[in-house]
Amino acid sequence: MRIDVLSIFPDYLRALDLSLPGRAQRSGLLDLRVHDLRTWTHDRHRTVDDTPYGGGAGMVMKPEPWGEAFDEIGLEGAVLLVPTPSGEVFRQSTARELAGEERLVIACGRYEGIDARVVEHAAAGGARVREVSIGDYVLNGGEVAALAVVEAVVRLLPGFMGNPSSLVEESHEDGLLEYPVYTKPPTWRGLDVPDVLRGGDHGAIERWRRERALERTARRRPDLLPVSQLAALGEYDVAT
């Protein structure tokens, strides 16, 4: 997979060269290219913003640099991802869809956003555009969202994670939140690891983990709870 990220703060994306995406790049699974949007400005001040038509506070990102950037890097075969507070919510299902793509181009806006004609022109040119929000809170730009999206997608790339089965069990993959995890020491500051996890009964361990996942989901994210599981919750006090 090739991912192009465009930003006026390209150093913000350097974190992607560490941890997961860093390994994916070295293994050849990921071709990550970070671009400074100001590359496509031509004035002395390398201007990327201007006042909004219709008035209002703040500034808006000019369309020209984006247009020239997309012309040069090309959008053919790519999904153009545009983080924005007003986008569709980015979920694990979105990450799974995007992990199947050949190319992603992520346009990180700043200020009050990008001139709407940039997305309009890209779509008219045949690009598949997805405006995405990573949650109902307001950031100052798209870079944090780009970091989250890249990490969520890259870790799903086929053949990337050392042990693919670990992807099946984790949160949001089966619709439930993850169960509590433990490691050595068996007792720590007077707190013990649940006995069932230290025994060898894998059936009992699997049941315990599913029960904890159901309980946790019912308590913290009832909206995620599949109706089919409500019956199984009879014995849990989920009021608190």
Ligand X SMILES: Nc1cc(-c2ccc3ccn(Cc4ccccc4)c3c2)n[nH]1
16, 113, 115, 154: which one binds ligand X (CB under 6 A): 113
For 59, the token pair is 């500034």
- Binders of ligand X: how many residues, by CB under 6 A? 17
Is 6 near ligand X (CB under 6 A)? no
For 63, the token pair is 């369309």
**Closest CB to ligand X among residues 105, 176:** 105
* CA gap 236, 213 in Å, rounded: 12
User: Where in 53-92 is the site for ligand X (CB under 6 A)?
Assistant: 83-85
Is 148 near ligand X (CB under 6 A)? no
54, 126, 140, 159: which one binds ligand X (CB under 6 A): 140
- Find the shortest distance in angstroms from Cβ 112 to ligand X: 5
- Residue 34 is given by DSSP the state E
Give one DSSP letter per residue of 119-152, joined into a string.
HHHHHHTT-EEEEEESSSS--SSSHHHHHHHHHH
3-state secondary structure of 9: coil
**Closest CB to ligand X among residues 111, 208:** 111
The verdict on whether omega for the bond into residue 63 sits within 30 degrees of 0, i.e. cis, is no
97 membership: H or E segment, kind and range? helix 92-99
Is 109 near ligand X (CB under 6 A)? yes
Is 216 near ligand X (CB under 6 A)? no
Is 181 near ligand X (CB under 6 A)? no
How many CA within 13 A on the CB side of residue 93?
4
Is 130 near ligand X (CB under 6 A)? no
Q: Rule CB under 6 A: which residues touch ligand X?
A: 83-85, 109-110, 112-113, 133-135, 137-142, 145
